[in-house]
Amino acid sequence: MATAYADQLRSLTDDALGALIQLRPDLVVPVPSDVSALAVRAQSRGSVARCLDALDEFTLAVLDAARLSRSAETALTSIAAVLELTAGAADPEAVRAAFGRLRARFLLHGPEDAAQVVGAVDEVSSPYPAGLGRPADYLDPQTAALCADRAKLRRRLLAAPPGARAVLDRLAAGPPVGALSSGGTIAEPVQWLIDNHILVPVSEAGRAPRFDGELVELPREIGMLLRRDSGPLGPLRPAPPVPDGAARDPKSVDSAGTGQAMEAVRHVETLLEALSAEPAAVLKTGGLGVRDLKRLARAANLDEPTAALLIEVAYAAGLLGESDLAGAGRGGAAGRANGAVDEIFLPAVAYDMWRALSIARRWEALACAWLAMTRQTGLIGQRDDRDRPINTLAPDAERAGSPQARREVLAVLADLAPGTAPKTDDVLEMLSWQAPRRARGREAVHRDALVGAAALGITGLGAITSYGRLLQAEARPDDRDPLGAGSRGERIPGVSEAVRTLDALLPAPVDHVLVQADLSVVVPGPPEPELAAELDVVAEPESAGGASVHRVTTASVRRALDVGYSAGDLHALFQRRSRTPVPQALTYLIDDSARRHGGLRAGSAGSYLRSDDEALIAEVLADRRLGALALRRLAPTVLCSPLQLARLLGALRDAGFAPVAEDAAGSAVLARPKVRRAPTRSSATIRLGDQAGPPMLAGPRLAGVVEQIRRGDIATRAARRTPVTVRAANGQSVPGLTSVQAHTQAMAVLQQAVRDKVRVWVGYVDTHGATLSRLVRPVSLSAGYLRAEDERTETLHTFALHRITAAVVEE
């Protein structure tokens, strides 16, 4: 079989071989040495399983029909036999198209009228195609005789008691195997079916008849008869299900999504600013504690699941990192392993660069990080297998398949008409139809993907937005190169179409404010980065949204003076930025704060306090709130304290004074408060469009791979024309085993030996170029390697398939 399979691949045109590689890209990772190696890989369990995982429900049903319709003598099937099984249940043209897809992927090979199913399909698929059992003549002679008399079989089925008929209906729907009672007694309906040879007792490991078996099986012929209304294969759906969702106005969808995108960006900023003000400790087991998550959720006015999602996304985007308490920034896992440092979560250096981007670019960084991160955020708050809670950023939430699940969900939404908002169950049903093997058991991660897309504004009102559709298209891995060249892991600098589209939908950034009489400052839109930086210094935020509100206070003016603004600078700032007249109350507040600012000077003594205003010094000394400072008068204008300067300044400011630190020369020291940042992780830089996915070749690269395989095949066949005797490890020749004749049959012999569990002589070329052989029992044949057991030495050997020159079954 392996030789015939390789010959069929060899007979393909270059275009057809390239099409096969595009349909099954894993076949060229790495590039096989020749067509024979390609054939072995295409028939391996791993490659066949990956190919089946990508097939839709209807194509898999047609494959089941091909498996069911195989001849008992030749193991061949045909399109005519498949059409006979699917007659009345599906359009013949749809069946022919699915049959063609299977042949194009070489899961079926050979002509249409004599096609053969690749052996690994039976190994990686259910042993019961279409939920039907094995043939009756395989299970039990008496049952086979009953099935041969169709009229008698019908009469016996009609005579079945109601309980027995219920058991038959359940087994006929599939799977066709049921367990007997574990207590040693068999239910009466099941016993009736066994006594009448309708059900056959079987063992878990052996074939029937085994009347001491643990299971009962419904033979294939009876199952097909019971399915006479729905067809032998059951209901068939050649096309995906149509979702019964609401139709939204695309403009409303974009508007809702845009608002949510702005909220997501704002909430991430709020969460990271809260962590900057009060860092959270890294748990010994990794991750963020429950109390810290609650605190951050309250600070951002979010529910805890949404806060956890945004924190995870920020970490994946490289905006959040880990730092030791001394600020040295040692790696989290390494630091905990060494037990040398305690660590905290802090905004990373990249966070400051991210804040300088436009809102659309900031959103894109978050959305692409969400698409690429290998985290299932829906697990946060649940308990692991040891009954411990799964925390935010903890290793327990790692799931390698999460990025692919998110791309699948967005692809389903993007394939619908603009504005279509399907229900969650409809999305899951469409995913189940598109790739039933892959979707099985992944409902939770698909639901999490829908929740994440809504939280980040990729969807709005349940439908995918126009910019979300563009993001999904740009994130497709169609142009990834499995050979390491041309990968789009790092986006080429520039603005993507998704960003341009979102930019057009977002309110235009504003460079002005509206100052009210009550000293509130209204920003009528998203502020420009420069204006946002100024507002962070001179005002306190009160509310956020499309139009944010800040308020100028004594503390905010003092903060601005502390970082170097003068009263004149602040007057000029508000005159330049405000579209409304500056209230007189704001002018007075700035002038009064500036007049008091620096009236006191503090230095190191522990610390000292001086002022040219003796009355002010007397006021400070008499203030009972400052008793803990232990102030002492050194001169009419100088006080000292045993406390350090930072504590002295903080206590005076809390008491309503406005001191300024000074250096040794008496000059005022004005500076912004120091902001701590975690180092940017080298493996977590902001990646826009970095998506893991199946590799894809096209154009010149694909043609080059095909040519490489062809040349390798020519060279291999030329080298094998001269027979070379294969010698055993002890130097003696193995009769009848030469490299030429052996190679033409080696893969077929090895595949059959794996199934039959027999010993074979394997000829191979060792690392020194010597041709030797071993007598082994093959265990598995996959991923380019043969794994076999040497029973004499009780060791397990691994042989690279390209080094195997021959294989002969032991006589």
Q: What is the pLDDT of residues 696-705, one digit of tens each?
A: 677 888 888 8
Band of pLDDT at residue 673, cut at 50, 70 and 90: low
Q: How far lies 171's CA from each of 16, 199, 201, 223, 505, in Å?
A: 42, 10, 14, 8, 56
Residue 301 burial (C-beta neighbours within 10 Å; 0-12, 13-18, 19+): exposed
Report how far residue 407's alpha carbon sits from residue 472's, in angstroms, rounded to the nearest whole number: 7
- 716-734 burial, b if ≥16 CB within 10 A, otherwise e? bbeebeeebebbeeeeeeb
Q: Which of 405, 368, 266, 449 is nearest to 685 (CA)?
A: 368
Placement of tokens 């300088």 in the chain: 356
- Which pLDDT score, from 0 to 100, does residue 653 have? 85
Band of pLDDT at residue 611, cut at 50, 70 and 90: confident
Mean pLDDT on 180-198: 79
Q: Which element (helix H / strand E) includes 180?
A: none
Tens of pLDDT, residue by residue over 92-101, are 999 999 999 9
- Which pLDDT score, from 0 to 100, does residue 306 have? 95
**What is the greatest pairwise CA distance in the chain?**
121
Mean pLDDT on 518-529: 86
β-pair type (660-661, 601-603): parallel
| pLDDT tops 60 at residue 179 | yes
Of 128-142, 295-309, 784-798, minimum mean pLDDT range: 784-798
Long-range contacts of 476-480 (CB under 8 A, 24+ apart): 476/407, 476/411, 476/691, 476/693, 477/407, 477/691, 477/692, 477/693, 477/694, 477/695, 477/696, 478/696, 479/696, 479/698, 480/691, 480/693, 480/694, 480/695, 480/696
- Which pLDDT score, from 0 to 100, does residue 480 have? 39
Tens of pLDDT, residue by residue over 48-70, are 999 999 999 999 999 999 999 99
Band of pLDDT at residue 663, cut at 50, 70 and 90: confident
- Which pLDDT score, from 0 to 100, does residue 491 have? 45
- Which pLDDT score, from 0 to 100, does residue 314 have? 94
Report how far residue 125's alpha carbon sits from residue 115's, in angstroms, rounded to the nearest whole number: 18
In this predicted model, which residue has the larger pLDDT, 304 or 725?
304
Whether 749 contacts 760, CB under 8 Å: yes
Band of pLDDT at residue 604, cut at 50, 70 and 90: low
Helix ranges (H only) for 278-326 are 290-300, 304-316
Of 181-195, 375-389, 538-552, minimum mean pLDDT range: 181-195
- Which pLDDT score, from 0 to 100, does residue 715 have? 77
- Which pLDDT score, from 0 to 100, does residue 409 have? 94
| pLDDT tops 80 at residue 199 | yes
Tens of pLDDT, residue by residue over 446-464, are 999 999 999 999 999 999 9
Report how far residue 639's alpha carbon sits from residue 433's, in angstroms, rounded to the nearest whole number: 81
Mean pLDDT on 558-583: 87
Beta bridge partners of 804: 764
Residue 112 burial (C-beta neighbours within 10 Å; 0-12, 13-18, 19+): middle
Would you report the helix, strand and coil content of the chain in percent, each value rounded to 5? 50, 15, 35
Tens of pLDDT, residue by residue over 468-521, are 999 988 876 544 333 333 333 344 456 789 999 998 998 888 888 898 888 888
| pLDDT tops 70 at residue 739 | no
Amino acid letter, residue 494: G
Band of pLDDT at residue 174, cut at 50, 70 and 90: confident
| pLDDT tops 90 at residue 107 | yes
Question: Percent of the chain at pLDDT above 70?
Answer: 86
Band of pLDDT at residue 407, cut at 50, 70 and 90: very high
Phi, psi (degrees; rounded to nearest 5) at 129: -60, 135
- Which pLDDT score, from 0 to 100, does residue 783 have? 65
Residue 388, C-beta contacts closer than 8 angstroms, at least 6 positions apart:
none
| pLDDT tops 60 at residue 182 | no
User: Angle at Cα 126 formed by Cα 120 and Cα 128, nearest 5°?
Assistant: 115
- Which pLDDT score, from 0 to 100, does residue 260 have? 93
- Which pLDDT score, from 0 to 100, does residue 1 have? 53
Band of pLDDT at residue 741, cut at 50, 70 and 90: very low
Average pLDDT, the chain: 82
Q: How far lies 274's CA from each of 327, 373, 530, in Å?
A: 18, 23, 21
- Which pLDDT score, from 0 to 100, does residue 446 have? 94
| pLDDT tops 50 at residue 613 | yes
| Residue 696 backbone zone (phi > 0: left; psi -120 to 50: alpha; other: beta) | beta
| pLDDT tops 60 at residue 734 | no
Band of pLDDT at residue 275, cut at 50, 70 and 90: very high
Structure tokens at 144: 């086979």
Whether 256 contacts 460, CB under 8 Å: yes
3-state secondary structure string across 2-60: HHHHHHHHHCCCHHHHHHHHHHCHHHHCCCCCCHHHHHHHHCCHHHHHHHHHCCCHHHH
Of 145-154, 272-281, 478-487, minimum mean pLDDT range: 478-487
DSSP 282: B
Tens of pLDDT, residue by residue over 689-728, are 334 444 567 788 888 888 888 888 787 777 655 454 444 4
| pLDDT tops 70 at residue 327 | no
- Which pLDDT score, from 0 to 100, does residue 67 have? 92
Mean pLDDT on 207-225: 72
- Which pLDDT score, from 0 to 100, does residue 332 have? 43
- Which pLDDT score, from 0 to 100, does residue 188 have? 86
Band of pLDDT at residue 253, cut at 50, 70 and 90: very high
Mean pLDDT on 169-181: 84
Whether 267 contacts 302, CB under 8 Å: yes
Beta bridge partners of 678: 348
- 477-514 burial, b if ≥16 CB within 10 A, otherwise e? beebbbeeeeebeeeeeeebebbebbbebbeebbebbb
SS3 240: coil
| pLDDT tops 80 at residue 379 | yes
Omega before residue 209 within 30° of 0, cis: yes
Residue 250 burial (C-beta neighbours within 10 Å; 0-12, 13-18, 19+): middle
